[in-house]
A = this chain, B = another copy of it.
């Protein structure tokens, strides 16, 4: 892991850009830590870090300044400046075509779109975790939060260092991931936008029901996909504060 730039943000939060091989990432750490800080991995949809930066940095700065958590994110494979791969482009085109035609989006299309992304992204998150946990200012335990719920589900199943996860309900979840959800046992905090125009409400409720965790909380709020209320940032942080101490 090579740090490529750093700056001090408001409230003393320290932001450092890094590369991990060819993968760009960002790390935020609290100004004044009394020992190694718990780490939150901030997931996001495959829109590129440049596009997602304001939202990700907003969450990270809140976690660091209000709760003393470190937070980190990496570019997803096939996003930002990272190379595309043809099958993903094809799957995206198939999805667009089905949606524009008003056809139901079958599991075959969803699986072709999501599973290769999950298969590539999860080992990258794990490598990032390896590297981040060598830093003296970061300790365990680790939380994962954010979108691409399928990546979060797989990580929660295969990565024992992740102790708690906050998911954002999305319905482009392949049947194979739905089955993996039953194996998730860590505490979960799931956000659902009740009127999400890009999301099937019942599918999200079914996925919440499927998680094997003994502690799981669903927070449903009125509004569309991007309308998550600001106060949910606080409830998410408090969820992590309960589980990452």
Contact = CB atoms under 8 A, between A and B. Distances in A.
Interface string A192-215: 001000000000010011000111
Contacts of A235: 235, 238
A203 to B, nearest CB: 14
A59 interface: no
Nearest to A216: B222
A220 interface: yes
B219 A218 contact: yes
* Most chain B CB neighbours (cut-off 10 Å) among A215, A217, A221, A242: A217
B215 A229 contact: yes
Interface in A42-96: none
Copies of this chain present in the complex amount to 2
A234 interface: yes
Contacts of A217: 219-222, 229
Contacts of A222: 213-217
B209 A194 contact: yes
B220 A231 contact: no
A218 B216 contact: no
Given A194-B209, A205-B205, A209-B194, A221 B216 contact: yes
A108 to B, nearest CB: 29
A107 to B, nearest CB: 24
B238 A234 contact: yes
A166 to B, nearest CB: 14
A194 B190 CA distance: 13
17 contacts: A194-B216, A194-B218, A205-B205, A208-B220, A213-B222, A214-B222, A215-B221, A215-B229, A216-B222, A217-B229, A218-B218, A218-B219, A218-B220, A218-B221, A231-B238, A234-B238, A235-B238
